[in-house]
């Protein structure tokens, strides 16, 4: 059963700032959703292989040939902050 | 020039008019731009209408008719705003991408642009394609032109509503758990999800990578096939895209002799409301009148498909949406104290509640200690769902079901309970899990609102589906057009405010 | 008092020298202006999708085969999820429990001893972008005001080689990495340039009582690219762990920071909880199924590896193990040496000259073997001139010094500067006679029994002959002239 500590932990993993009331509400919502999802545990499926890809395709690769890169202007076009042609981010603490 | 009715015009007819010189591309674009001006304040299907582009490009098509020819040239189209379009902001209906200007164009869009369509604009959706009503859009709620108090469905609600409201000749949407078919059903238009891999996902802002597909929303099955022809194909930019074994053919079937259609008992048990069931049964009768044979089949793991989907899709989404971190593009919170603050506040401010819920479920399902119980298990259930379909298709050619359990519901009636919203997709989700193609066509009205009929086929059976749908469409002869009525805030008697049990 | 032994495991990350990145067609470059080799994929724009670089798979397989690994019949990619500014997707496409190759081994020498280290796995992934910390103290993270990201490097193909904890000492760790690096360079898949960070390693170390087979808790050193620092760090970490254990404490699984100035290792303040990478199979990529015929072909085309070449040098050229290691480990030097011998120089003298004067010259000039004016042909000629007595060894060194500067052939230098050794008996005898005649006192000393005085005479003859007298002949003639 998912609790508020779990929710806070997962929010940290997902880099989502949740206020306390959000944590409480989210816990309730996720608990209800997960309860529904737990229906799957009825099934005995230990020997059923998982599907990671629905396609029966393998070995899709590309040759080692350079293509067109973005101009620097395009690369930085949407950047929230730029310094010396680099993307600027605040310091890690 | 005869007055064209944007609510009824098909691409097939419009193309003939263009070719015959009865209308110019600019005039055709204007028909839709005028309709947008007339109804958009009520329908709100578009996040952005590209008026100038539409006017200029349609004029260019007229001017360079010789060079800019082809089956799609001059035909106005709307594009769901989760496909990147270079030079036109693409938002995914999210605050986190409110001002994002793409530096490249999605392959499927590029393909239709290269065929000289006239883009009318980018349509509204549930944020990051997560939802079944388009109410999760950060910017606006789209309304169903059949009853403006109701939802158009989602997540491609904007595209479906635009086509239904005559605000576009046709549109592109995307389908991860039913996001083309369900809104198509609720809006009384045709919507198709191709086989997984048939259309390139390059440039489709990813929700669930192993489930997403781009597909058409149109006013007729013929139009659907025509548009589909132009978006399929192997794309070297998408390692999961494949070439179709046979090209898409424009359908012309009028009979269904020899066609075996299976109807899964589990789908009919899934809380289908009476009006929807009635229309479905009538359509099954028509199918048989056309020479088809309908039999009951079983897809025994159907009830586990929704739980599996609500692990797999959020898990993949939690990773796909992690790139929205304020570093390289999109929203960044003001005055971040440090990096962690920037990440957490940017994403808290940028994502809506449904997106956050799904990211949380996804991250939880993948987290240490839970992988086997949730994600691992869901992937195995997925195998069982695929096997169910494979076994069924050994006996039948197609599978039929209602597209959704209910008709369009009142806006706001399901937003308080996420699970009730998830139930909209109970008949559509298994198809995505199995990667199969499926179409929804309007098959009648119930309480004045459209009902959708779904046909599902084996992988790469698009032509079989299109032929059957085309024949059925002819027999159904769905005639009504949306009235833009508004049943208002007061719930009428028998209003559908609760999800079926 | 317990005797402790260290148990070390290593991970080496190698950036491949493919033309394009692992999952996109941007060029792999070094030193170009920031953010000039990016695209929607390696910038992780919405909607972008990865596509695998075929050559990177081939290079990875070559490394795996050279390490005697089993290339698995099928491998897939996984997403490794975490947030960092140099990771644009907030996940790295890597490999997890179905990697390219497993279960190999690598033999390497520490001194005269040949050791074997088991290889756990070889897998493919993509490199992170470059993060530059500004403000604060000299580019370190702590105390910096902001950071800047250059995505040119982001997406470069990266091969991870993981060993079992079979490394028995810090010195062995250094040797292992140096020799593994030589191997990778030999394969032609990466220049393994250290300054550019093309090769980095992590080390983990634990201690246990000597003779025990249990493993203690390990600590980790991450992202090093200096052999020297690695060895120093491990040397510092062993006593630190021993001290804690002997005091009754416990080692925690931690990442360490090594300070080269103080030579100490300290656990990093844990910035956050240990990463939960939430691995799951990469849905945007399809599995790679390996064709055994292709693997056979790669095996066939594999060049002679350093280990085999060192063995061959020892036997073919009669070299000591130590000499064979010096000459045979790296491709360029080995090729140079073999060419010198092929040009007619004797194996042993060629070895001495190559390991001596030539190697010193390379180090001083910062050159790679085979480069510069001292070609193998020229060195071979010089070696032969010394061998056949035309020049003395010391004059030969003079010739060598001049060869470095210009393009002249050794014979020409000898002639031009009159460096030829005098080996004419008559000529030398005359000089000897003169020297003997002019130094009665020393003659008496020698005849009185002080044999070592002959050195004085040799020196005098050398001086009189401008250093060109053939020392062997001079000795013979002196003994004859001095008698006895």
Interface of B with A in 370-389 (CB under 8 A): 373-374, 376-384, 386
Q: Is C35 close to A75, i.e. CB distance below 8 A?
A: yes
Give B323: exposed, middle or buried? Use CB within 10 Å, 0-12, 13-18, 19+.
buried
Show residues of chain B in contact with C284, CB under 8 Å: 206, 209, 239-240
> What is the three-class DSSP state of C126?
strand
Element (H, E) at C149: strand C146-150
Average pLDDT over residues C143-149: 85
Q: Is A86 close to C52, i.e. CB distance below 8 A?
A: no
Specify whether the CB–CB gap between A39 and B304 falls below 8 A. Answer: yes
> What is the three-class DSSP state of C123?
strand
| Per-residue pLDDT tens digits for B151-161 | 999 999 999 99
**Chain B interface, best mutation among C47, C85, C128, C134, by max B CB count within 10 A:** C47
Element (H, E) at A89: strand A86-90
Q: Is C37 close to A92, i.e. CB distance below 8 A?
A: no
Name the band, by pLDDT with cuts 50, 70 and 90, for residue C447.
confident
| Per-residue pLDDT tens digits for C166-200 | 999 999 999 999 999 989 999 999 999 998 899 99
Distance in angstroms between the alpha carbons of the first and the last residue of chain B = 53
Q: Is C83 close to B106, i.e. CB distance below 8 A?
A: no
Strand partners, B230: none
**Chain A interface, best mutation among B328, B330, B354, B360, by max A CB count within 10 A:** B360
Give B493: exposed, middle or buried? Use CB within 10 Å, 0-12, 13-18, 19+.
exposed
Task: Kindly tell me if the per-residue pLDDT of B479 is higher than 70.
Answer: yes
From the list C126, C460, C62, C441, the residue with the least C-alpha distance to C282 is C126
> What is the three-class DSSP state of B222?
helix
Indicate if B461 belongs to the active site: no
Q: Which of C40, C79, C276 sits opposite B103 (nearest CB)?
A: C40
Q: Is B366 close to C280, i.e. CB distance below 8 A?
A: yes
Name the band, by pLDDT with cuts 50, 70 and 90, for residue C136.
low
Cβ atoms within 10 Å of C68's Cβ, excluding its own: 15
Average pLDDT over residues B282-301: 98
Task: Kindly tell me if the per-residue pLDDT of B492 is higher than 50.
Answer: no
Q: Is B434 close to A54, i.e. CB distance below 8 A?
A: yes
Q: Which chains touch B (3 or more CB pairs under 8 A)?
A: A, C
**Chain C interface, best mutation among A15, A16, A64, by max C CB count within 10 A:** A64
Q: For B342, which residue in chain A has the nearest alpha carbon? A: A90
Name the band, by pLDDT with cuts 50, 70 and 90, for residue B379.
very high
Percent of chain B residues topping a pLDDT of 90: 92
Note the pLDDT of residue C142: 62
| Per-residue pLDDT tens digits for A28-82 | 999 999 999 999 999 999 899 999 889 899 999 999 999 999 999 999 999 999 9
Name the band, by pLDDT with cuts 50, 70 and 90, for residue C446.
confident
Note the pLDDT of residue C469: 82
| Per-residue pLDDT tens digits for B207-217 | 999 999 999 99
Task: Kindly tell me if the per-residue pLDDT of B496 is higher than 70.
Answer: no
Strand partners, C208: C5
Distance of alpha carbon A84 from alpha carbon B5, whole angstroms: 56
Q: Which of C52, C83, C283 sits opposite A53 (nearest CB)?
A: C283
Higher pLDDT, B70 or B493: B70
Name the band, by pLDDT with cuts 50, 70 and 90, for residue C362.
very high
Note the pLDDT of residue B1: 46
Note the pLDDT of residue B494: 42
Note the pLDDT of residue B227: 98
Average pLDDT over residues C340-344: 95
Q: Which of C47, C278, C286 sits opposite B204 (nearest CB)?
A: C47
Q: Which chains touch C (3 or more CB pairs under 8 A)?
A: A, B
Task: Kindly tell me if the per-residue pLDDT of A26 is higher than 50.
Answer: yes
From the list C285, C289, C302, C258, the residue with the least C-alpha distance to C170 is C258
Task: Kindly tell me if the per-residue pLDDT of B499 is higher than 60.
Answer: no
From the list B335, B344, B469, B329, the residue with the least C-alpha distance to B399 is B469
Interface of C with B in 61-80 (CB under 8 A): 79
Specify whether the CB–CB gap between B213 and B198 falls below 8 A. Answer: yes
**Among B99-103, B267-271, C75-79, C90-94, which stretch is predicted with the lowest mean pLDDT?**
B267-271
Distance of alpha carbon B364 from alpha carbon C334, whole angstroms: 55
Average pLDDT, chain C: 91
Task: Kindly tell me if the per-residue pLDDT of C119 is higher than 60.
Answer: yes
From the list C20, C144, C22, the residue with the least C-alpha distance to C85 is C144
Average pLDDT over residues C137-151: 76
Average pLDDT over residues B284-311: 97
For residue C106, give how far its alpha carbon lies from the nearest alpha carbon of chain A (Å). Answer: 29
Distance of alpha carbon B253 from alpha carbon C465, whole angstroms: 111
Q: Is B304 close to A43, i.e. CB distance below 8 A?
A: yes
Indicate if B122 belongs to the active site: no
Q: C178-181 long-range CB contacts below 8 Å, 24 or more apart?
A: C178/C227, C179/C106, C179/C108, C179/C109, C179/C306, C179/C329, C180/C12, C180/C106, C180/C108, C181/C12
Strands (E), C188-327: 199-209, 219-224, 255-259, 264-267, 280-281, 288-289
**Among C19-28, C127-136, C310-319, which stretch is predicted with the lowest mean pLDDT?**
C127-136
**Chain C interface, best mutation among B81, B101, B239, by max C CB count within 10 A:** B239
Name the band, by pLDDT with cuts 50, 70 and 90, for residue C484.
low
Note the pLDDT of residue B282: 98
Note the pLDDT of residue C138: 54
Percent of chain C residues topping a pLDDT of 90: 62
| C139 shares contact with chain A (CB less than 8 Å) | no
Q: Of residues B179, B200, B318, B461, which has the active-site annotation?
A: B179
> What is the three-class DSSP state of C40?
coil
| Per-residue pLDDT tens digits for C398-442 | 899 999 988 889 989 888 887 888 878 888 888 888 888 888 888
For residue C294, give how far its alpha carbon lies from the nearest alpha carbon of chain A (Å). Answer: 13
Task: Kindly tell me if the per-residue pLDDT of B497 is higher than 60.
Answer: no
Give A83: exposed, middle or buried? Use CB within 10 Å, 0-12, 13-18, 19+.
middle
Higher pLDDT, B373 or B501: B373
Note the pLDDT of residue C419: 82
| C132 shares contact with chain A (CB less than 8 Å) | yes
Note the pLDDT of residue B495: 43
Average pLDDT over residues B197-216: 98
Percent of chain B residues topping a pLDDT of 70: 97
Distance of alpha carbon C409 from alpha carbon C403, whole angstroms: 7
Q: Which of A12, A57, A91 sits opposite C286 (nearest CB)?
A: A57
State the pTM of this model.
0.90
Average pLDDT over residues B249-272: 95
Average pLDDT over residues B360-388: 96
| Per-residue pLDDT tens digits for C56-93 | 999 999 999 999 999 999 999 999 999 999 999 999 99
Note the pLDDT of residue C144: 66
> What is the three-class DSSP state of C294?
helix
Specify whether the CB–CB gap between A82 and C146 falls below 8 A. Answer: no
């Amino acid at each position: 059963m998912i609790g508020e500590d779990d929710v806070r932990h997962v929010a940290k993993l997902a880099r989502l700032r949740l206020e306390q009331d959000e944590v409480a509400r989210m816990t309730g919502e996720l608990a209800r959703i997960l309860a529904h999802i737990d229906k799957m545990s009825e099934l005995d499926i230990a020997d059923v292989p998982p599907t990671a890809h629905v396609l029966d395709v393998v070995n899709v690769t590309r040759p080692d040939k350079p293509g067109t890169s973005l101009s620097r202007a395009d690369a930085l076009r949407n950047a929230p902050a730029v310094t010396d042609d680099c993307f600027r981010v605040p310091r890690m603490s | 020039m005869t007055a064209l009715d944007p609510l009824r015009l098909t691409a097939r007819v419009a193309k003939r008019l263009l070719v015959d010189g009865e209308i110019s591309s600019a005039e055709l674009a204007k028909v839709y731009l005028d309709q947008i001006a007339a109804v958009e304040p009520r329908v709100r299907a578009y996040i952005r209408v590209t008026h100038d582009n539409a006017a200029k490009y349609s004029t260019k098509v007229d001017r360079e008719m010789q060079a800019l020819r082809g089956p799609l040239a001059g035909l106005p189209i709307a594009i769901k705003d989760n496909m990147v379009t270079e030079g036109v902001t693409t938002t995914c209906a999210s605050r986190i991408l409110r001002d994002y200007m793409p530096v490249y164009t999605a392959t499927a869009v590029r393909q239709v642009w290269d065929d000289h369509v006239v883009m009318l604009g980018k349509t509204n959706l549930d944020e990051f394609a997560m939802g079944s009503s388009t109410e999760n859009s950060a910017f606006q709620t789209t309304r169903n032109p059949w009853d403006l108090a109701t939802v158009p469905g989602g997540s491609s609600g904007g595209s479906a509503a635009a086509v239904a409201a005559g605000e576009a000749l046709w549109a592109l949407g995307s389908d991860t758990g039913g996001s083309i078919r369900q809104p198509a059903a609720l809006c009384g238009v045709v919507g198709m999800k191709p086989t997984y891999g048939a259309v390139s996902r390059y440039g489709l802002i990813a929700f669930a990578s192993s489930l997403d597909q781009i597909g058409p929303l149109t006013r007729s099955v013929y139009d659907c096939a025509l548009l589909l022809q132009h978006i399929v194909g192997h794309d070297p930019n998408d390692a999961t895209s494949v070439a179709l074994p046979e090209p898409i053919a424009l359908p012309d079937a009028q009979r269904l002799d020899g066609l075996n259609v299976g109807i899964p008992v589990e789908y009919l048990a899934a809380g289908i409301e009476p009006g929807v069931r009635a229309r479905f049964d009538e359509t099954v009768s028509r199918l048989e009148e056309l020479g088809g044979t309908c039999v009951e089949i079983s897809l025994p793991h159907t009830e586990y498909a929704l739980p599996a989907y609500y692990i797999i899709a959020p898990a993949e989404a939690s990773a796909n949406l992690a790139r929205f971190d304020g570093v390289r593009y999109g929203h960044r919170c003001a005055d971040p104290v440090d990096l962690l603050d920037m990440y957490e506040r940017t994403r808290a401010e940028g994502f809506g509640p449904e997106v956050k819920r799904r990211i949380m479920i996804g991250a939880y399902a993948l987290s240490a200690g839970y992988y086997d119980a949730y994600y691992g298990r869901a992937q195995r259930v997925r195998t069982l769902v695929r096997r169910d379909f494979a076994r069924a298709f050994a006996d039948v050619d197609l599978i039929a079901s209602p597209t959704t359990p209910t008709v369009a519901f009142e806006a706001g009636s399901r937003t308080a309970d996420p699970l009730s919203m998830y139930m909209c997709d109970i008949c559509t989700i298994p198809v995505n899990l199995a990667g199969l193609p499926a179409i929804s066509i309007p098959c009648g009205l119930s309480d004045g609102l459209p009902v959708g009929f779904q046909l599902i086929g084996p992988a790469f059976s698009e032509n079989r589906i299109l032929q059957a749908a085309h024949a059925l469409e002819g027999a159904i002869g769905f005639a009504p057009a949306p009235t833009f009525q508004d049943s208002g805030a007061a719930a009428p008697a028998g209003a559908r405010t609760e999800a079926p049990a | 008092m317990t005797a402790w032994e260290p148990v070390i495991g290593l991970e080496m990350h190698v950036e491949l020298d493919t033309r394009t990145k692992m999952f996109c067609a941007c060029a792999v470059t070094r030193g170009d202006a920031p953010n000039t080799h990016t695209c929607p994929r390696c910038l992780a724009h919405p909607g972008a999708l990865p596509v695998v670089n075929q050559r990177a798979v081939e290079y990875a397989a070559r490394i795996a085969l050279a390490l005697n690994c089993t290339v698995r019949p099928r491998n897939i990619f996984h997403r490794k999820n975490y947030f960092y500014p140099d990771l644009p997707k907030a996940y790295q496409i890597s490999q997890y429990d179905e990697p390219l190759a497993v279960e190999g081994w690598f033999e390497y020498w520490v001194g005269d001893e040949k050791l074997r280290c088991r290889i756990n796995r070889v897998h493919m992934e993509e490199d992170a972008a470059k993060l530059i910390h500004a403000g604060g103290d000299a580019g370190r993270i702590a105390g910096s005001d902001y950071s800047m990201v250059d995505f040119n490097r982001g997406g470069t193909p990266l091969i991870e080689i993981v060993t079992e904890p079979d490394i028995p000492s810090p010195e062995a760790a250094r040797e292992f990495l140096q020799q593994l690096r030589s191997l990778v360079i030999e394969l032609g898949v990466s220049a393994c340039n250290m300054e550019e960070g093309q090769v980095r390693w992590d080390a983990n170390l634990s201690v246990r009582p000597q003779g025990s087979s249990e493993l203690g808790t390990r600590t980790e050193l991450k992202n090093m690219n200096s052999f020297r620092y690695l060895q120093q760090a491990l040397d510092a970490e062993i006593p630190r762990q021993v001290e804690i254990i002997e005091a009754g404490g416990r080692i925690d699984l931690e990442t360490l920071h090594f300070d080269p100035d103080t030579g100490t290792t300290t656990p990093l303040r844990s910035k956050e909880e240990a990463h939960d990478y939430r691995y799951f199979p990469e849905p945007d990529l399809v599995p790679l199924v390996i064709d055994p015929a292709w693997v056979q072909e790669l095996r066939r085309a594999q060049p002679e590896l350093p280990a085999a070449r060192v063995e061959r040098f020892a036997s073919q050229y009669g070299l000591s193990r130590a000499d064979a290691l010096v000459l045979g480990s790296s491709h360029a030097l080995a090729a140079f040496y073999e060419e010198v011998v092929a040009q007619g120089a004797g194996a042993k003298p060629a070895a001495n000259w190559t390991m001596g004067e030539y190697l010193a010259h390379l180090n001083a000039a910062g050159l790679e073997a085979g480069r510069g004016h001292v070609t193998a042909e020229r060195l071979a000629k010089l070696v032969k001139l010394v061998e056949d007595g035309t020049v003395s060894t010391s004059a030969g060194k003079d010739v060598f010094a001049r060869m470095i500067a210009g393009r002249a052939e050794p014979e020409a230098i000898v002639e031009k500067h009159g460096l030829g050794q005098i080996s004419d008996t008559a000529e030398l005898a005359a000089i000897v006679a003169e020297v003997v005649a002019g130094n009665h006192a020393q003659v008496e000393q020698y005849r009185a029994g002080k044999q070592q005085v002959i050195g004085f005479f040799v020196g005098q003859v050398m001086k009189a002959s401008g250093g060109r007298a053939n020392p062997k002949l001079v000795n013979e003639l002196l003994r004859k002239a001095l008698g006895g």
